[in-house]
Structure 1
């Protein structure tokens, strides 16, 4: 548990410095684009909160020998693999000039590095016909790279509201840590606890009143580490069902797949084209903000945060059963199906303007913008 505690402290302090020094680097790090199709924030704050999380994840393995007999070599090797995807995201946060294709290549490069350096290559998904193909090394590596890169990008897709991606991934890391403890996988458990603490230090600066955003760098970093821990958990522990990875991470995974279907099949647009039709955006626009003054920046900030709570609860539909039935494929498949069913039902109801009344929030207390936050530029 010391990994969690120290990870929290280091992340909190680094982000404290980022927030307090925003006047020095704000021209590079502030998220001034508040009117984009996927933007739902009330004011500009730094979008490099992922730097604090990455710093904590790096420091803890270095000082870990002070309280643990096992070295932090495995964690440091995993962090080394994460450098390409994290760097691509941070550079995009500061320059807005890194294309989605380049960031995808960075994610693939990080996934390949993990395959080669940590032997994190999937050879089973617990489907006999597929497993036979995955045992062919190039196919296994290619499949793993696509899966890791896809989940990495999926976390970035759900990162649109205060505390949404960060708390959902904390819940997933908590599940991973529990399962790793159950099978005595110290490496995975240690890294999962570190990430819980590091993300927790960020959440206090981001929710409910944001002083910093996760940014692409943070979302990609968290998503990559999460994906790799799931791969390592399955590769290193035959008793863990491969279906566990699908069930525990079904929310970001299905959000991505559903978005691709909606854009390519339904609307005939490029799969990577941004839109404002994600479930979290619809919840914000048609459930949380319904009946409330949309021109009040203070209320808008709180509505943003309240939106995340809906999705936290929804994500637990699959995370909770996956955590306790990690070795039971039927239960895991059932959890994933239950999530998809509820997701689609809610999505269709909101789109058709038939939102259940019990979902609608009709008022919020005002929120004061944090010190140093900037009003939107017109």
Structure 2
């Protein structure tokens, strides 16, 4: 496959984001700051649709060039489209949480069917086949990841930077570890996000919206399961690379559940949100996420691929400082801290 497709995906995403920004301004599809917001300037939203269209359009091309299996293509195409449409409709109006959640489960079941279910996993050098329980856990994982990504898309550039770091990191490890056949899909996703990031980098000129964040969450999760079918250790690699978002969202959810909060209500009590208020800007926090990904999580993931370090052990080592950091920045605490 020629290098031209890389340029086309990036350019298409960037151009479409520009078009969507003009559309949002013309239709007054604007995020107005309120008490639950992490921004202070009214900003157009819905730019993540550019990521959706540019990436989904590339999937049949990848399949035709045998850079992606047909099963993986239908998995990402169907589930990604359903989640993006639900998010787009919610961006333009409001869909009750129960109907959104039902759609998320339907998309996840569809995706898992085409991927072949949950593969065998390895933990502390022991192979574990979870059978039907594994399929149930995989569906819950997909639903959690797409909602998690929505929760974490709260300040300028953070969701885009996370997706690019994770995808590029995975591609690098695929190349070094001899899994070149898996490279194209995450690489093209990174380029689609990069085209959007041009407009979303702090200070953002457009926001991703639910259509983009939910789509990224489920596609990243599907890429991790696709990788696990190639080699069980690669699932741990993705868990490690996604550590910043997984830890912040999970610690926040657990602490809010324990306090009895209505977890489906909007809030701004994630660690990254507290940090952005402490620093008074979004940029330092977004750059810190990039640094953690490149300087801490990527080397640990590389140890799993290149040195055969046990994935579960590497994940514990990776997550402990992240949990401490989340607690340090008050993840899940009351917002008046």
Asked if these proteins are the same fold (TM beyond 0.5), I'd say yes
- Give the alignment partner of residue 104 of structure 2, picking from 104, 107, 119: 107
Residues 314 and 339 of structure 1 are in contact (CA less than 8 Å); yes or no, is this contact kept in structure 2?
Answer: no
Alignment of 1:333-348 (within 5 A): 333-348=312-327
Which residue of 178, 181, 199 corresponds with 1:183?
178
Q: Displacement, 1:145?
A: 0.5
Change (3 A) 1:23 1:47: closer
Inter-CA distance 99–19: structure 2 relative to 1 (3 Å threshold): same
Match of 1:278 in 2: 270
2:148 corresponds to which of 154, 177, 195: 154
Structure number with larger C-alpha Rg: 1
Instruction: Note if contact 1:167-1:312 (Cα within 8 Å) is conserved in structure 2.
Output: yes
Counterpart-to-counterpart distance in 2, 1:71 and 1:153:
26
Equivalent residues of 2:24, 2:45 under 8 A apart: no
Q: Name the CA distance, whole Å, in 2 between partners of 1:335 and 1:161.
A: 29
Equivalent position of 1:87 in the other structure? 85
Summarize the alignment of residues 1-378 of structure 1 with structure 2, pairs less than 5 Å apart: 1-26=3-28, 29-32=29-32, 34-37=33-36, 39-63=37-61, 68=65, 70=67, 73=70, 76-77=73-74, 78-95=76-93, 97-126=94-123, 131-132=128-129, 134=130, 136=131, 138-181=132-175, 182-186=177-181, 188-238=182-232, 240-265=233-258, 267-286=259-278, 288-289=279-280, 303-316=281-294, 317-326=296-305, 330=309, 332-351=311-330
Distance 1:236 1:306, change over 3 A: same
Query: Which residues of structure 2 form unaligned runs of 5+?
Result: 332-337
Indicate conservation of the 8 Å contact 2:170/2:238, yes or no: no
Q: Displacement, 1:119?
A: 1.6
Q: Offset at 1:162? A: 0.7
Give the aligned CA root-mean-square deviation in angstroms: 2.8
TM-score (norm 1): 0.77
Segments of structure 1 that go 5 or more residues without pairing to the other structure are 290-302, 353-378
CA distance in 2 between partners of 1:320 and 1:30 (Å):
39
Does the 8 A contact of 1:318 with 1:338 survive in 2? no
Q: Distance in 1 between matches of 2:167 and 2:117?
A: 18
Deviations 1:4-27 (A, max 9, x none): 33221110111111123334332x
Change (3 A) 1:334 1:73: closer
- Would the alpha carbon gap of residues 258 and 350 (structure 1) be closer, same or farther in structure 2, given more than 3 Å must change? closer
